[in-house]
Structure 1
Amino acid sequence: MRPVKVKRKHHHRSSTSSAASTTCNFDEWREEAINGGSLKHVDLHNGSNGWASPPGDVFSVRGPNYFTKKGKVPAGEWLLNPAGVDWLRSNAKLDHVLARPDNRVMNALRSSKNYEKSKTFVIGINLQVPGRDHYSAVFYFATKLNESINSNPLLYQFINGTDAFRSSRFKIVNKIVNGPWIVKTAVGNRSACLLGKALNCSYHRGPNYLEIGVDIGSSAIATAILRLALGCVTAVTIDMGFLVESQTDPELPERLFGAVRICQMEMGSATLVDGATPTSKVLPMSSGGESEVDEDQ
């Protein structure tokens, strides 16, 4: 597969060689993570059995005057950069996958040059699909702490806050790009949902990551819709945007922290992993907001 060109955000930076080196390293490990995995990175418009990164403007979010005029606006650029997708299959529900010793995305980050100095932070969203075989679709997004997290109070609070706060704010916006009418009707062609309230969500806060586990099997309605969608999954292309919901005027407008397009996925493309990985091999972590992002980083 031809290597992808990673999306680079343009920020005013110092011209020192150290800053340039850190930026280069950030893109290098992400390129490895994006091009790895069994579910391949594909063309946004013509790809199949893979994933791509839709522009934020295909989603509508709460605008600056939402609480007075209910106005919505295109979401604009995501706060975090895409850092890969994993489509996994196991004999048990996969939880806290970013701490697994075989997690290829976190291993790519740790193997990058100047890893300790890079101050890179990853948000992983683990959509857990129930069934005789358990599946997980894991979406990874990454950034430098001082660029998108410490400069965004709402996202900072989401990462460092309590699980109750996270569940009250974790939101998804969907758009069915292609698919049978029955799927569009069931899912909603342009729908938004507070996942933290509709489904059971777990949160794992590590030293440089936050993983959000979304248990689709915790809702009978969500499970029924999912089974319908999986029945024709190779004909469905869906955009998913993830954000922290704004609930007060100072928090507006809403911003996506990441987005992904899943293009006509095939169930058989999933990577088989052991659901019984010994916990003794799991990397150190903390949960429930006990670890905080260092504001001086």
Structure 2
Amino acid sequence: MCSTELDPSSESQLDFDYDDWRQQAIDGGSIRSVDLQNGSNGWSSPPGDLFCLRGPNYLSSRQKVPSGDWSLLPAGVDWLRSSRRLDNILSRPDNRVASALRRAQSVGRSLKSFLFAINLQVPGRECHSAVFYFASEDPIQPGTLLHRFVHGDNAFRNSRFKIVNRIVKGPWIVKATVGNYAACLLGRALVCNYHMGVNYLEIDVDIGSSAIATAISKLALGCVESVTIDMGFVVEAQAEDELPEKLLGAVRISQMEMSAATYVAPAT
């Protein structure tokens, strides 16, 4: 009778496969991770200090200050297309990011991780989705503004979910147009649908629900290969004890090619 021992190199590979699920998610996206300064047709993670958010004395001084580090860690970006709008992507069995986390958790690793996804749904003859994934390594702390947002009702979420944009590079018309909406409460300007799972929250932002947002997205997508944009996501602070604001996460999209979108079959 012979015994079978796990090869040390295989054990190391197993540890990498399951402990580093977030790196797998980053590496496997439909658009690749690129250099922050010089990358193109990809995404990167801009530092928080590029975004000015409400400071500790904002309610009295109206002063904004550079944000610190993000609350959540980057976990990849997808650029997807389909014949119909893609909703609740994290619930799909073929979603690569949720699958990577499930595989890690199936062997008892990353049990505390929480996924946060923002799905910007772009209307058109083909529906597109830009999906930004973020994750926490530990449970979100009770009592924090982020915890209240995750576990709050949709009215609370709509009153707090904010995007902060920066055009890094692009034609003047895009800079001027997007600059007018540099900070926007998405939950009030657009229809946002919130999908809560056991270990995730996904926000589906229906750009087609606003004529202005649809026009801006068409303008930006028309010259997308020459545009680099930073997008930061924030739970807006509206009370003294919620300040200063902190980024949930941020992503830089650098001169993306429309053809980079991966086709996804609509849910049955």
The answer to whether residue 135 in structure 2 is matched with residue 142 in structure 1 is yes
CA contact (8 A) 2:73 2:249 kept: yes
Count of residues in Structure 1 that have an aligned counterpart in Structure 2: 253
The alignment partner of 2:20 has SS state of helix
Structure 1 match to 2:187: 196
Residue 236 of structure 1, aligned match among 227, 246, 254? 227
**Partners of 1:115 and 1:44 in 2: CA distance:** 34
Deviations 1:115-155 (A, max 9, x none): 46621000000000000000000000000334xx2156100
CA contact (8 A) 2:87 2:204 kept: yes
TM (norm. structure 1) is 0.82
Cα distance change of structure 1 residues 189 and 179 upon mapping to structure 2, 3 Å threshold: farther
The alignment partner of 2:248 has SS state of strand
**Partners of 2:77 and 2:113 in 1: CA distance:** 18
Cα distance change of structure 1 residues 73 and 25 upon mapping to structure 2, 3 Å threshold: farther
Map 1:79-94 → 2, pairs under 5 A: 79-94=71-86
**Matched residue type, 1:196:** G
Q: Between 235-244 and 114-123, report the one with greater CA deviation.
A: 114-123
Residue 59 of structure 2, aligned match among 54, 57, 67? 67
Structure 2 match to 1:55: 47
Gaps of 5+ in 1: 1-22, 279-297
Map 1:125-136 → 2, pairs under 5 A: 125-136=118-129
Residue 45 of structure 1, aligned match among 37, 52, 60? 37
**Partners of 2:215 and 2:96 in 1: CA distance:** 31
The alignment partner of 1:253 has SS state of coil
Cα distance change of structure 1 residues 70 and 130 upon mapping to structure 2, 3 Å threshold: same
CA contact (8 A) 2:115 2:199 kept: yes
Cα distance change of structure 1 residues 24 and 258 upon mapping to structure 2, 3 Å threshold: farther
Q: Percent identity?
A: 63
Structure 2 match to 1:30: 22
Structure 2 match to 1:205: 196
Q: How far has the Cα of 1:112 moved from its partner?
A: 1.6
Cα distance change of structure 1 residues 26 and 258 upon mapping to structure 2, 3 Å threshold: farther
Structure 2 match to 1:261: 252
Q: How far has the Cα of 1:111 moved from its partner?
A: 1.1
Pairwise CA RMSD = 1.7
CA contact (8 A) 1:175 1:190 kept: no
CA contact (8 A) 1:168 1:194 kept: yes
Deviations 1:152-180 (A, max 9, x none): 61000000000110000000101000000
CA contact (8 A) 1:204 1:212 kept: yes
Structure 1 match to 2:7: none
The alignment partner of 2:68 has SS state of coil
The answer to whether residue 100 in structure 2 is matched with residue 108 in structure 1 is yes
CA contact (8 A) 1:176 1:189 kept: no
**Matched residue type, 2:134:** F
Q: How far has the Cα of 1:65 moved from its partner?
A: 0.5
The answer to whether residue 235 in structure 2 is matched with residue 226 in structure 1 is no
Structure 2 match to 1:14: none
Deviations 1:73-119 (A, max 9, x none): 11110000000001000000000000001100011111126446621
Structure 2 match to 1:13: none
